[in-house]
Structure 1
Amino acid sequence: MTTSTRLSTERALHVGGSLMALAGVAFIGYAVIFFVRNFSGAFLELGIGQAEAGATREQVEAFSPELYEYISHLHLAVAGFIAAAGLATAALSWYGVRRGLPWAYATAVATPVLGLAVALPAHYPYDLDTLGHLGLVYLATAVFVVGAGIALPAFLRTRS
């Protein structure tokens, strides 16, 4: 490997891994919003209103306090798992991808891909795919994909 190729590889790993880590931190931020909204008067997720849910927080609580508590617990659980996936993605990207560790790259990519592959399709059949709801996720995902795309050639170069 020539000096310029080595520097190019190191730069790609640094920039790509940094963008991937930034996206992981953005996922954590989204989880914090999710968590906070559960305890605010909003109750419903970011970008989801009465038009999408068919009822307000007060109507759900009046209909069934148990259902209200169940939905609340789901919001908290989802927030926790989004934050955990974001933390894993950020740490793997910052400490592993930037150092050129292929297993860290594979795991950092697989973590959000698995979460998004399960979560995103569930939004579309029920018209829950509003830009207000998924816009921040789309933005973080775009940053992540750009970072992963920048880092990937560096991993492919080291294999050949």
Structure 2
Amino acid sequence: MATASAHLPAVSAQSAVRTGAAVMSLAGLGFVGYAVIFFVRNFTDSFLELGIGSGEVSVGKAQIEQFSPSLYHYISHLHIAVSGFIAAAGLAVACLAWFGVRRGQMWALGTAVAVPVLGLAVALPAHYPWGFDTLGHLGLIYLDTLIFVVGAALAYYGLTRSRAET
């Protein structure tokens, strides 16, 4: 009896590593893209993060600024700072994947995985108690994380397979 894998084309370990690293790099750049959206919205009338509206926050930019200009500036500075850290993490992940994982460095894979895991482990839990877990707000991050996980799994498969073959 033939197995399902007998009908699938063989994927070389090196091909899996290169493809996985490329997908991880793309996802890292996706994090940078999300940071750009986050940054730009701070300077528009939207002000609040993507996917956060009147259902989650009962006031908008003008009302916050009218209520307390210093609070408005404080929130704005947080938006700018968070977008910078998201972009920096995304760039780090993309570079680690492209220049380290693609060359077969297991430490680069571990670090590239640890960076978004740490960021998401700290950031995501705060979204749920106050209803900021909307699909419009977290959907792009969930999608980008899924893409990243696929790439990381493929790269890990290739790296462990190539080590087992040597």
Range into which the TM-score falls when normalised by the shorter chain: over 0.9
TM-score between both structures, scaled by the size of structure 1: 0.93
Paired position in structure 2 for 1:91: 95
Cα distance per residue 1:69-104 (max 9 Å; x no partner): 000000000000000000000000011111111111
The counterpart of 1:42, out of the listed 46, 65, 68, is 46
Within 5 Å, give how 1:1-160 maps onto structure 2: 8-160=12-164
Letter in 2 for 1:100: G
Once residues 65 and 55 of structure 2 are traced to their aligned partners in structure 1, the CA distance between those partners, rounded to angstroms, is 17
1:20-74 deviation line (CA, Å, top 9, x unaligned): 0000000000000000000011100001012201211111111110000000000
Q: 1:109, CA displacement in angstroms? A: 0.5
May I ask how many residue pairs the two structures share in their alignment? 155
Q: Could you tell me whether the CA contact under 8 Å between 2:17 and 2:157 is conserved in 1?
A: no
Q: Distance in 1 between matches of 2:25 and 2:76?
A: 29
* Contact map agreement 2:24 2:93 (CA 8 A) in 1: yes
What is the CA-CA distance between 1:155 and the residue it aligns to? 2.2
Secondary structure in 2 matching 1:51:
coil
Q: TM-score, structure 2 length as denominator?
A: 0.90
Rounded to whole Å, the distance in 1 between the matches of 2:40 and 2:131 is 23
Read off the aligned partner of 1:68 and give its amino acid letter: Y
The letter for the 2-side match of 1:117 is: A
1: CA distance between counterparts of 2:158 and 2:60?
Answer: 50
- Amino acid of the residue matched to residue 54 of structure 2? Q
- State the distance in 2 between where 1:81 and 1:46 align: 17
Supply the AA of the counterpart residue of 2:84.
Answer: G
Q: Distance in 2 between matches of 1:153 and 1:25?
A: 22
Structure 2 distance, partners of 1:99, 1:42, is 42
- Higher share of residues assigned helix: 1
SS of structure 2 residue aligned to 1:55:
coil
Cα distance in 2 for residues equivalent to 1:50 and 1:125: 17
Higher deviation after alignment, 45-54 or 79-88: 45-54
Percentage identity across paired residues of the two chains: 63
